[in-house]
């Protein structure tokens, strides 16, 4: 079945084939233990629940409040709660995934182009510019 692999390391959202079992989830995520973030439409994101050194790259899905290190496998679910194809298209998911890079105590948003499937991303790290204080030029 179709699923989407979100990679904070590569700043990509990629369509992958998922067998619907734990072995497939472990293979896609490169781990032995997973946790699940449930989404409003019944979709879910599987992610590694034990990362010794999470590194400096993360992703989030707008509206979830969750910050995930490494990779996430985005799947749908059927009426019995088993994995199924996602309820959204890859471009819809890519619009709400935000990649973040930590720099000390700060997180900076990374905006890959174009939105959608990104085989070779061009990365721009942006930081908010502060407006000059009143009375300063």
pTM passes above 0.95: no
- Indicate the domain borders of the chain: 2-126
Residue 33 and residue 51: Cα distance in Å, rounded?
10
- Reduced to 3 states (helix: H, G, I; strand: E, B; else coil), residue 111 is coil
pLDDT in tens, 44-53: 999 998 766 6
Beta strands in the chain (DSSP E): 2-7, 12-17, 34-38, 44-48, 57-61, 68-69, 71-77, 83-84, 97-103, 106-110, 125-126
pLDDT in tens, 59-115: 999 988 899 999 999 999 999 989 999 999 999 999 899 998 887 777 777 765 544
Ranking 19-23, 96-100, 116-120 by mean pLDDT, the lowest is 116-120
pLDDT beyond 90 at 125: no
Q: In this structure, are residues 57 and 8 in contact, taking their beta carbons and an 8 Å threshold?
A: yes
For residue 64, the tally of other CB atoms under 10 A from its CB is 14
């Amino acid at each position: 079945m179709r699923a989407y692999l979100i990679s904070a390391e590569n700043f990509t959202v990629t369509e992958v084939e998922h067998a619907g079992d734990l072995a497939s989830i472990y293979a896609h995520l490169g781990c032995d233990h997973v946790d699940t973030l449930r989404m409003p439409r019944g979709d879910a994101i599987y992610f590694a629940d034990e990362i010794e050194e999470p590194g400096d790259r993360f992703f989030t899905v707008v509206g979830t409040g969750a910050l995930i290190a490494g990779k996430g496998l985005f799947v749908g679910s059927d009426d019995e709660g088993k994995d199924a194809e996602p309820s959204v298209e890859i471009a819809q998911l890519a619009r709400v995934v935000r990649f973040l890079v930590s720099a000390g105590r700060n997180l900076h948003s990374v905006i890959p182009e174009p939105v959608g499937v990104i085989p070779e991303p061009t990365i721009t790290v942006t930081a908010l510019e502060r407006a000059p204080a009143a009375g300063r030029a």
